[in-house]
């Protein structure tokens, strides 16, 4: 290094402690696993409250949806989304989400659009009074249900700090 320089050497107990922390930092799987479990609980609480990760309430249901709805609350008719949330560890990465096909439409919303048949001349499904050439779909407002809140990030910090400094997770 050119110019002025100092060298800091840490030895003794502090050096041993830093070496232990550096070793633990190489494998955060236990800490990430604990955070995955925490995220399952955090998302479960938000589903019960009907709020996005930022605390904003989910968009209300349309009157037409309320008229045919069978289950409780928004995004909870069958509980499928809520129960499908999973995490998995891939190296030093925690992946969290769901494999439910319609999840992205709920998370990000859908624009209004006109549905037309891809094959044939008409659309038909049970409940439709007769085959039709096109159907207007009003779209879906976004209802973000997957994400990390400020509280979640603070908990991640506590988990990682506890893991690195104490060598233990909850």
Q: How confident is the model at residue 22 (pLDDT cuts 50, 70, 90)?
A: low
Q: Does a structural domain hold residue 57?
A: yes
How far is the C-alpha of 58 from the C-alpha of 143, rounded, in Å? 5
Beta-ladder partners of 31: none
pLDDT of 13 above 90: no
Mean local confidence (pLDDT), 109-113: 94
Cβ partners under 8 Å of residue 28, min gap 6:
92, 160, 163
Mean local confidence (pLDDT), 142-149: 92
Average of per-residue pLDDT values in the chain: 83
pTM: 0.77
Cα distances (Å, whole numbers) of residue 95 to 13, 80, 154: 36, 19, 18
How far is the C-alpha of 34 from the C-alpha of 64, rounded, in Å? 41
Which helix (H) or strand (E) is 11 found in, with range?
Answer: none
Q: Does a structural domain hold residue 124?
A: no
In this structure, of 21-25, 48-52, 99-103, 131-135, the range with the lowest mean pLDDT score is 21-25
The confidence score (pLDDT) of residue 130 equals 81
Nearest-CA neighbor of 135 among 147, 125, 149, 146? 125
Locate the DSSP E strands across 28-140.
86-90, 93-97, 113-115, 135-137
Mean local confidence (pLDDT), 6-30: 66
How far is the C-alpha of 148 from the C-alpha of 156, rounded, in Å? 10
Q: Does a structural domain hold residue 105?
A: yes
The confidence score (pLDDT) of residue 14 equals 63
pLDDT of 16 above 90: no
Q: Does a structural domain hold residue 129?
A: no
Number of domains in the chain: 1
Percent of residues, the chain, with pLDDT higher than 90? 34
Cα distances (Å, whole numbers) of residue 42 to 37, 85, 146, 155: 9, 11, 10, 10
Q: How confident is the model at residue 15 (pLDDT cuts 50, 70, 90)?
A: low
Per-residue pLDDT reduced to its tens digit, 60-97 = 988 888 888 877 788 888 889 999 999 998 877 888 98
The confidence score (pLDDT) of residue 7 equals 47
pLDDT of 105 above 50: yes
Q: Does a structural domain hold residue 42?
A: yes
The confidence score (pLDDT) of residue 106 equals 92
Range of the domain at 83: 12-110+141-166
Q: Does a structural domain hold residue 122?
A: no
The confidence score (pLDDT) of residue 41 equals 96
């Amino acid at each position: 290094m050119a110019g002025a320089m100092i060298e800091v050497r840490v030895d003794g107990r502090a050096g041993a402690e830093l070496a232990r922390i550096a070793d633990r930092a190489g494998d955060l799987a236990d800490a990430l696993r604990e955070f995955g479990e925490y995220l399952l609980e955090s998302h479960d609480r938000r589903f019960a409250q009907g709020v996005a990760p930022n605390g904003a309430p989910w968009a209300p249901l349309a009157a037409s949806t309320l008229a045919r709805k069978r289950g409780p609350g928004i995004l909870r008719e069958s509980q499928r989304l809520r129960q499908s949330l999973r995490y998995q560890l891939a190296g030093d990465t925690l992946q969290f989400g769901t494999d439910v096909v319609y999840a992205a439409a709920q998370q990000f919303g859908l624009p209004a659009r006109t549905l037309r048949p891809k094959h044939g001349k008409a659309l038909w499904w049970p409940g439709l009074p007769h085959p039709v050439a096109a159907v207007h779909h009003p779209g879906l407002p976004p209802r973000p249900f997957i994400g990390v809140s400020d509280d979640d990030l603070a908990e991640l910090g506590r988990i990682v700090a506890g893991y690195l400094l104490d060598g233990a997770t909850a």
